[in-house]
């Protein structure tokens, strides 16, 4: 950890949207101009790629699927990715961090993502998959193939963050489908930018790639949560909300690796950050490894945002088991914690 506002990382970050939904999700990020990241759009459907505005676009090649949909056949998505491995490898080469963004439930994203994750990890890039699970109304077939895809991605990526579309609908039953997709896209955008900002934005306290790797490398399921605070006790308030967040029997207090990212304006005082970190430190295992970074965004005033990334939960060694708990129907019935400001849908 360094404490200067001048040092900037040379970490190379690549964000890959896979399949129709994945491409839609990165489109938002490209429009938002997430700094320091290179965007790659990958799909079997040639109509979605140009809409993303991504500099690099890969139409997955397979003689019998080129340019058409996979009709939700994940084996076709997987084959198409394998047939395009040369292009994918060229796109990934040189990355320190690869984000794979996919909506699970269709043939392309679900079938191709595990293979692309495998390639990214083999290239030694820190491979972080952020995936959505489909809405219940999309039907059992999509739910089933999404579960299969998730199992595969868990085996291949370093870290997997899951967002449950259905949970969003339970929290906001009145929400229209396009609003729901927009919200999900915003949430993912927030997750990616909170991590890339740590490495690329001017910071009071900068984190290095090694700090991020320590929480995410070979981590399996990862917990991501964000909260905002305003007023005098904004940082402490946000920290208190985050530690009270509980999902499916997994408690943030059991996490052994924690990374905190504070983002605020010029009025953000190191003292308030210190107090907030102390709240988290007291709440978790004394042996937990906590790293934090502080980013200053000139345009922010009064408000601060706090993102927490947690992994390695005590007593839960089996990542499949953690994933099942995070994704269990039980979590869908839980009421969101107050902290779940930015839709903590993991
Ligand atoms: N956030 C978001 N999710 C979407 C969008 N469209 C679809 N989804 C979700 O993503 C899942 C996968 O859909 P697609 O991305 O269209 O499927 P695909 O990976 O392109 O696969 P095929 O079209 O079957 O080859 C769906 O089941 C939905 O849950 C979107 O525009 N935004
Ligand atoms: Mg598609």
Q: Could you tell me the CATH number of the domain that includes residue 155?
A: 3.40.50.1440
pLDDT, position 278 = 92
Closest of 220, 96, 224, 99 to residue 159, by C-alpha: 220
Count structural domains, the chain: 1
DSSP assigned state of 64: T
Tokens of 227: 């909260």
Closest of 242, 247, 249 to residue 227, by C-alpha: 242
Q: Is residue 77 part of a domain?
A: yes
Q: What angle do CA 263, 267, 271 make, to 5 degrees?
A: 80
In the reported structure, the alpha carbon of residue 160 is separated from the centroid of ligand 2 by a whole-number distance in angstroms of: 22
DSSP assigned state of 284: S
Q: Is residue 63 part of a domain?
A: yes
Q: How distant, in Å, are the alpha carbons of 130, 170, 173, 258, 328 from that of 177?
A: 20, 13, 10, 33, 23
Q: Report which ligand 1 atom has the smallest distance to the Cα of 72.
A: 24
pLDDT, position 344 = 30
Q: Is residue 222 part of a domain?
A: no
| pLDDT tens figures, 24-36 | 999 989 988 777 8
- Ligand closest to the CA atom of residue 80: 1
Q: Which helix (H) or strand (E) holds 181?
A: helix 177-200
Whether 142 is in the pocket of ligand 1, judged by its Cβ within 6 Å, is: yes
In the reported structure, the alpha carbon of residue 240 is separated from the centroid of ligand 2 by a whole-number distance in angstroms of: 41
pLDDT, position 149 = 94
Q: Is residue 226 part of a domain?
A: no
Q: Is residue 251 part of a domain?
A: no
Residues with CB under 5 A from ligand 2 (ion): 20, 45
Closest of 243, 248, 285, 247 to residue 260, by C-alpha: 243
Q: Is residue 225 part of a domain?
A: no
Whether 164 is in the pocket of ligand 1, judged by its Cβ within 6 Å, is: no
pLDDT, position 324 = 59
Q: Is residue 328 part of a domain?
A: no
Place of tokens 């495998």: 118
Give CA–CA dist 82/62, Å, rounded.
Answer: 9
Whether 106 is in the pocket of ligand 1, judged by its Cβ within 6 Å, is: yes
Strand partners, 57: 41
Give CA–CA dist 33/85, Å, rounded.
Answer: 28
Residue 46 belongs to domain spanning: 13-197
pLDDT, position 169 = 81
Whether 103 is in the pocket of ligand 1, judged by its Cβ within 6 Å, is: yes
Torsion over CA: 271, 273, 274, 278 (sign): positive
Q: Report which ligand 1 atom has the smallest distance to the Cα of 165.
A: 29
- Ligand closest to the CA atom of residue 22: 1
| pLDDT tens figures, 93-116 | 999 999 999 999 999 999 999 999
Q: Is residue 182 part of a domain?
A: yes
pLDDT, position 63 = 57
pLDDT, position 341 = 27
Q: Give pTM, 2 decimals.
A: 0.87
**Best residue for ligand 1 mutational test, from 100, 106, 139, 180 (most atoms within 8 Å of Cβ):** 106
In the reported structure, the alpha carbon of residue 318 is separated from the centroid of ligand 1 by a whole-number distance in angstroms of: 29
Average pLDDT per 10 consecutive residues for the chain, totaling 346 residues: 48 96 94 86 94 95 59 86 95 97 96 98 97 92 93 94 84 87 90 86 77 92 84 88 66 86 89 91 89 86 87 68 52 33 29
């Amino acid at each position: 950890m360094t404490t200067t506002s001048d040092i900037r990382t040379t970490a190379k970050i690549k964000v890959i949207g896979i399949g129709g939904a994945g491409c839609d999700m990165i489109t938002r990020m490209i429009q938002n101009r997430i700094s320091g990241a290179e965007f790659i759009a990958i799909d079997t459907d040639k109509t979605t790629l140009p809409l993303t505005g991504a500099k690099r676009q890969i139409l997955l090649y397979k003689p019998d699927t080129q340019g058409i949909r996979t009709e939700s056949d994940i084996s076709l998505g997987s084959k198409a990715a394998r047939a395009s491995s040369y292009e994918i490898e060229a796109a990934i080469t040189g990355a320190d961090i690869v984000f794979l963004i996919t909506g699970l439930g269709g043939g392309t994203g679900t079938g191709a993502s595990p293979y692309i994750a495998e390639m990214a990890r083999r290239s030694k890039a820190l491979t972080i998959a952020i995936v959505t699970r489909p809405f219940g109304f999309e039907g059992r077939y999509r739910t089933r193939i999404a579960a299969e895809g998730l199992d595969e991605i868990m085996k291949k990526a370093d870290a997997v963050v899951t967002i449950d579309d259905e949970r969003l609908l339970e929290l906001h039953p009145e929400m229209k489908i396009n609003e729901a997709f927009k919200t999900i896209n915003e949430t993912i955008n927030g997750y990616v930018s909170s991590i890339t900002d740590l490495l690329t934005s001017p910071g009071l306290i900068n984190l290095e790639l090694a700090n991020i790797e320590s929480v995410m490398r070979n981590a399996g399921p990862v917990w991501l949560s964000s909260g905002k605070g305003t007023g005098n006790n904004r940082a402490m308030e946000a920290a208190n909300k985050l530690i009270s967040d509980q999902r499916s029997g997994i408690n943030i207090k059991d996490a052994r690796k924690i990374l905190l990212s504070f983002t605020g304006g010029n009025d953000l005082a190191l003292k308030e950050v210190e107090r907030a970190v102390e709240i988290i430190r007291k709440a978790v295992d004394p042996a937990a490894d906590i790293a934090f970074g502080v980013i200053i965004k000139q345009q922010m005033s009064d408000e601060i945002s706090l993102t927490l990334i947690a992994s390695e939960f005590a007593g839960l060694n089996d990542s499949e088991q953690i994933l099942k708990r995070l994704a269990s129907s039980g979590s869908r019935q839980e009421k969101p914690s107050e902290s779940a400001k930015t839709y903590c849908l993991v």
